[in-house]
Chain A
């Protein structure tokens, strides 16, 4: 291994924002300059395909492939995944999700920084340096004294781009919480859809069975419009992504679900818009919200615990929601299972980066004959420490001697986690047969509704992360396992493929020196049953407005 520490490859195609305070955030890998009027008039003679009218600006996490249109060749942006291996990689094709959003009026403003290949919880493991979020007190703008605060990861750059207002919507990827966690730290909304709803084609995979494309925005509304308004993303099958649900499966899953535009209702809904159609007034009345007891862990920051309790109380007392304690007994094993499965898939996915086609080939060790180290040397130099750590972890758990004890066991845990969710949700999971559940491992404090078991719920209500956004300085001193702890509340929904969303919730102002998220909020997470995304977004919108009074200021 090289004597160097974490590779810090400075690759800046465009200096970050003209705003001075943004200079330190390091949230963009490359930017697309705004088209000037002159450029727009000088369109080349063969007219490009008609672009839809501009509706919103879009930042894209740099592990999602984008191509550069010939007109903007001067601002070509690579797809680096924040890895030294891909600093010069220009994708020859565009990810389906980017194309879909362009068709809906998105204008790409840039590619955002991340943890290398999406592996990390603070966007610090980047070849381009760590991402920081906006300091809480912009008046104290002395560079030396600014408290640099974690933006969360791995979609930290995307969350910051939304928080600073540089993008109306940002794309992230959520494998074990990588959209929800930065959303929680940065005080924005982060939505992870049901697995198989949004196309992954063109998304550089970290762990395929967990990866989802997620959306970040200042409020829930914009996300709801994009996914569920007429011509919404939810209905589009991508034939190039084998894990994208077929149109028939989408229809079947949507049966009996609220908020999905059907042929019959489409015409009537056209006038109302997403919010009006989906649910409207009184949505929260009678809604059953589950509080998972296993999520009240020792490591939970007391301010977050209080805010969580306050939120639940407010929803129950003032808006008529029913708050029910529920038990998810497999939660304690979920994090361990995630950190077996995700690195295993990662070690496989990253095998292609060997210096032969990508990155720099170490020519000193030119032989790959028995005992040769052609690939070993190139891979040793081309990956950052966190990625190497996960590749080694994954290679070990897949090795013939460890397979049964780690990978297979983790897959069993994954099933148990999914079963836990199926047991507490009132709706059935359309991907699985209904099963009967053993109630013996339930927490004793759970009351039985009838002889069949405890009361079932519509959504789970829990924090997104156990702590507020930490200082970057503290993050750097954490052990890897400390960092993994941040994912404890987000990983279960990822393992089960369920939709989840993180919305800002107010926290009591911090003790001196401690930092809440950039906006003085923490993340409140709502988890729904599979393909209950439409209702999840509608409820999240209502809860969000309830908790913050109005749509978040920014």
Chain B
């Protein structure tokens, strides 16, 4: 766990300010207001995320703890327990329709319309060109290199790249937008008609079966807005480093029918964008935001009628929020309709952990964006050659990679997916590094008949054992090329000994900890085993037998179970009892010299040949 400096802690405790860096920032990006310190009072946190496209947040903030309390109370009062999401994907008699808009920050060196550098946590207002702050007389200069990640993203989403696209101005007033309009693509986006295949392993609702395909209406490029940081006392600080950063907006067709599938879709988009290196950071770090459009209609209207009136929920910043907000909004709309009411087309908001969406503004408060082609910007012409080159250099897309992990290496699809998603895709690279080093050590040739055992072992350790080392993935220090605190060569060394049964699993785990803590220098695994004499020298059959004898002593009742099976009085072999005795053996003996499998084999044989006959005889 990360250690906080006293100064940082006191800022948090006394003024409710959180560090802007690290994991906490990702979870609670904005702490509005200052609350006086009273031991009995809960901190007031708003879960509102820095908004890019929405209008300012609702100003009333309910303390999270109070909110949770009230929620629990309300549930108790109705006598209902909160349903699990997995059991709450459909409502009988109603059909849900969801469309999603995802905003993702493109991975580029420059802003969309100025040569200012893109940055994440640099000194505020240090990367700002004249045009970014709309100085009178300054003009936009389209940066063609922003097309590279944008086109890659669109190709990963199976879109048709449009040879000609155009930029439009979308007008609305907000302090985070210096020019009074956002330059976006509205009439002529650069990519259209894409689709994403979602499989069961992506975590879609079970009602969607093995897979479902979601159509993508269009992908467009647009400018980001300035970053607002709330300060105590009605003061907002603006960082124009973010203004003008290039975003892509991905708009789906209204084809999603279940909340879990919507969350799976957003997760998959993030994975696809990552895999083609189009996107700066994931949803949890604020590089990806989703708006969802939700409508419901009665199942008997499905064949004939149009879709119900939709509402839009803005700025969802986690996969869970996407699913929860859709469920809440669906239930609200159904309740309104069942009570004879009418669903209003409006914009709503969602706070983490709540059970209801809240109204932000209705149709009458809707801004007329007055879209207009930007007269300073010519059309963007994207050549076939560029598209062809980017398509051919994209590498393996996630679905193909998961298929390979499952098919060739024998991973479960869940593990394969986790491996791909962790550390923004660096974990799977680490796995490949470990596997390569391991195969070299074991002298295995790839072409040979592929034995999955060592690959599976490597995958399990890269995923689960490595994950046990720390709560925070960032502590591993994983680099994009797949190296971390535990060098892949050292993990491969540990695993090669384990695979050959030269050390026990327990010793292997201890070694991993030592490497992680830096107690073993790089490349020193085998030496350490030598020095500490950790090699696995297995007990002889005789020694196992002696241990067995020792353990069985006084376990007559357990032996009775085996006897009952032998006499045909019990149907199943008492395997549980056997393993219980094996466990006792392991504890009684020198564990690092024992293999549970050998212990089991010897014990079983002795039960048959020695103990039961003895028992029957007595």
Q: Is B72 an interface residue (CB 8 A)?
A: no
Minimum distance in angstroms from B350 CB to a CB of chain A = 17
Q: Select from chain B the residue with minimum beta-carbon distance to A398.
A: B370
Q: Is A354 an interface residue (CB 8 A)?
A: yes
Contact call A242/B139, Cβ cutoff below 8 A: yes
Return chain B residues, CB-CB under 8 Å to A204. 136-137
Contact call B130/A242, Cβ cutoff below 8 A: no
Q: Select from chain B the residue with minimum beta-carbon distance to A372.
A: B56
Q: Select from chain A the residue with minimum beta-carbon distance to B136.
A: A204
Interface flags for B124-138 (1: CB within 8 Å of A; 0: not) read 000000100111111
Minimum distance in angstroms from A89 CB to a CB of chain B = 7
Interface flags for B511-532 (1: CB within 8 Å of A; 0: not) read 0000000000000000000000
| Interface segment out of the listed A9-17, A91-99, A150-158, A483-491 | A91-99
Contact call B372/A407, Cβ cutoff below 8 A: yes
Contact call A395/B370, Cβ cutoff below 8 A: yes
Minimum distance in angstroms from A291 CB to a CB of chain B = 32
Return chain B residues, CB-CB under 8 Å to A205. 136-137, 376
Q: Is B368 an interface residue (CB 8 A)?
A: yes
Contact call B370/A93, Cβ cutoff below 8 A: no
Within 8 Å by CB of B134, from A345, A352, A369, lies: A352
Residue of B169, B173, B365 with most chain A CB atoms under a 10 A cut-off: B173
Contact call B139/A241, Cβ cutoff below 8 A: yes
Q: Is A51 an interface residue (CB 8 A)?
A: no
Q: How far is the CA of A201 from the CA of B140 in the complex (A)?
A: 10
Q: How far is the CA of A351 from the CA of B171 in the complex (A)?
A: 8
Return chain B residues, CB-CB under 8 Å to A348. 169, 171, 180-181, 370, 372
Q: How far is the CA of A243 from the CA of B142 in the complex (A)?
A: 12
B109-163 contacts to A, CB under 8 A, are: 130, 133-142
Contact call A369/B56, Cβ cutoff below 8 A: yes
Q: Select from chain B the residue with minimum beta-carbon distance to A238.
A: B139
Q: Is A79 an interface residue (CB 8 A)?
A: yes
Contact call B56/A89, Cβ cutoff below 8 A: no
Return chain B residues, CB-CB under 8 Å to A64. 137
A384-440 contacts to B, CB under 8 A, are: 395, 398-400, 403, 407
Within 8 Å by CB of B133, from A243, A357, A368, A407, lies: A357
Q: Is A448 an interface residue (CB 8 A)?
A: no
Return chain A residues, CB-CB under 8 Å to B377. 242
Return chain A residues, CB-CB under 8 Å to B604. none
Contact call A92/B137, Cβ cutoff below 8 A: no
Contact call A65/B137, Cβ cutoff below 8 A: yes
Contact call A352/B179, Cβ cutoff below 8 A: yes
Return chain A residues, CB-CB under 8 Å to B376. 205, 208, 242-243
Q: How far is the CA of A9 from the CA of B572 in the complex (A)?
A: 100
Interface flags for A341-357 (1: CB within 8 Å of B; 0: not) read 00011011011101011
Q: Is B536 an interface residue (CB 8 A)?
A: no
Return chain B residues, CB-CB under 8 Å to A351. 171, 173, 179-181
Q: Is B174 an interface residue (CB 8 A)?
A: yes
Minimum distance in angstroms from A113 CB to a CB of chain B = 17
Within 8 Å by CB of A345, from B139, B140, B178, B375, lies: B375
Within 8 Å by CB of A79, from B136, B139, B142, B180, lies: B136
Contact call A344/B171, Cβ cutoff below 8 A: no
Q: Is the interface of B mostly helix, strand, loop or mixed?
A: loop
Q: Is B40 an interface residue (CB 8 A)?
A: no
Q: How far is the CA of A175 from the CA of B140 in the complex (A)?
A: 20
Minimum distance in angstroms from B58 CB to a CB of chain A = 9
Q: How far is the CA of A369 from the CA of B173 in the complex (A)?
A: 11
Return chain A residues, CB-CB under 8 Å to B139. 200-201, 240-243
Q: Assign chain A's interface to a size class.
A: 35 or more
Q: How far is the CA of A81 from the CA of B370 in the complex (A)?
A: 25
Return chain B residues, CB-CB under 8 Å to A515. none
Q: Is B353 an interface residue (CB 8 A)?
A: no
Q: Is A320 an interface residue (CB 8 A)?
A: no
Q: Is A512 an interface residue (CB 8 A)?
A: no
Contact call B368/A399, Cβ cutoff below 8 A: yes
Q: Is A207 an interface residue (CB 8 A)?
A: yes
Return chain A residues, CB-CB under 8 Å to B361. 370
Within 8 Å by CB of B135, from A91, A200, A368, lies: A91
Q: Is A203 an interface residue (CB 8 A)?
A: yes
B328-383 contacts to A, CB under 8 A, are: 360-361, 365, 368, 370-372, 375-378
Return chain B residues, CB-CB under 8 Å to A403. 370-371
Contact call B372/A242, Cβ cutoff below 8 A: no
Return chain A residues, CB-CB under 8 Å to B372. 344-345, 348, 398, 407
Q: Is A221 an interface residue (CB 8 A)?
A: no
Q: Is B175 an interface residue (CB 8 A)?
A: yes
Q: Is B78 an interface residue (CB 8 A)?
A: no
Minimum distance in angstroms from A362 CB to a CB of chain B = 14
Q: How far is the CA of A202 from the CA of B169 in the complex (A)?
A: 20
Q: How far is the CA of A463 from the CA of B56 in the complex (A)?
A: 54
Contact call B130/A95, Cβ cutoff below 8 A: no
Contact call B371/A352, Cβ cutoff below 8 A: no
Within 8 Å by CB of A81, from B136, B169, B175, lies: B136
Q: Is B59 an interface residue (CB 8 A)?
A: yes
Interface flags for A207-242 (1: CB within 8 Å of B; 0: not) read 111000000000000000000000000000001111
Q: Select from chain B the residue with minimum beta-carbon distance to A89.
A: B136
Q: Select from chain B the residue with minimum beta-carbon distance to A356.
A: B175
Q: How far is the CA of A345 from the CA of B171 in the complex (A)?
A: 12
A239-298 contacts to B, CB under 8 A, are: 239-243
Q: Is B302 an interface residue (CB 8 A)?
A: no
Q: Select from chain B the residue with minimum beta-carbon distance to A239.
A: B141
Within 8 Å by CB of B368, from A91, A356, A368, A400, lies: A400
Q: How far is the CA of A25 from the CA of B412 in the complex (A)?
A: 85
Q: Is A86 an interface residue (CB 8 A)?
A: yes
Within 8 Å by CB of B178, from A93, A344, A357, A370, lies: A357
Contact call A242/B171, Cβ cutoff below 8 A: no
Return chain B residues, CB-CB under 8 Å to A207. 375
Return chain B residues, CB-CB under 8 Å to A191. none
Contact call B375/A354, Cβ cutoff below 8 A: no
Q: Is A531 an interface residue (CB 8 A)?
A: no
Q: Is A375 an interface residue (CB 8 A)?
A: yes
Q: How far is the CA of A87 from the CA of B375 in the complex (A)?
A: 27
Q: How far is the CA of A86 from the CA of B137 in the complex (A)?
A: 13
Q: Is B55 an interface residue (CB 8 A)?
A: yes
Q: A345-B372, A354-B180 are in contact. Are A91 and B136 (CB under 8 A)?
A: yes
Minimum distance in angstroms from A280 CB to a CB of chain B = 38
Q: How far is the CA of A347 from the CA of B581 in the complex (A)?
A: 85
Q: How far is the CA of A239 from the CA of B115 in the complex (A)?
A: 12
Q: A209-B375, A354-B180 are in contact. Are A91 and B137 (CB under 8 A)?
A: yes
Residue of B173, B181, B375, B377 with most chain A CB atoms under a 10 A cut-off: B375
Contact call B142/A92, Cβ cutoff below 8 A: no
Contact call B371/A398, Cβ cutoff below 8 A: yes
Return chain A residues, CB-CB under 8 Å to B142. 242
Minimum distance in angstroms from B178 CB to a CB of chain A = 6
Interface flags for B165-177 (1: CB within 8 Å of A; 0: not) read 0000101011100
Minimum distance in angstroms from B517 CB to a CB of chain A = 52
Q: How far is the CA of A403 from the CA of B372 in the complex (A)?
A: 9
Contact call B137/A368, Cβ cutoff below 8 A: no
Return chain A residues, CB-CB under 8 Å to B178. 352, 357
Return chain B residues, CB-CB under 8 Å to A395. 370
Q: A352-B178, A368-B174 are in contact. Are A208 and B375 (CB under 8 A)?
A: yes
Return chain A residues, CB-CB under 8 Å to B181. 348, 351
Q: How far is the CA of A465 from the CA of B181 in the complex (A)?
A: 36
B residues sitting closer than 8 Å to A (CB atoms) are 55-56, 59, 130, 133-142, 169, 171, 173-175, 178-181, 360-361, 365, 368, 370-372, 375-378
Residue contacts A-B, CB under 8 angstroms, 8 given: A79-B136, A91-B135, A92-B135, A200-B139, A201-B138, A202-B137, A398-B171, A400-B368
Add 14 more A-B contacts to A91-B136, A399-B368 (CB < 8 A): A79-B137, A81-B136, A92-B130, A208-B376, A209-B375, A240-B141, A242-B140, A243-B139, A243-B376, A347-B370, A352-B180, A369-B56, A398-B370, A398-B371
Q: Which 7 A-B pairs have the closest CB atoms?
A: A351-B180, A209-B375, A398-B370, A208-B375, A204-B136, A202-B137, A352-B134
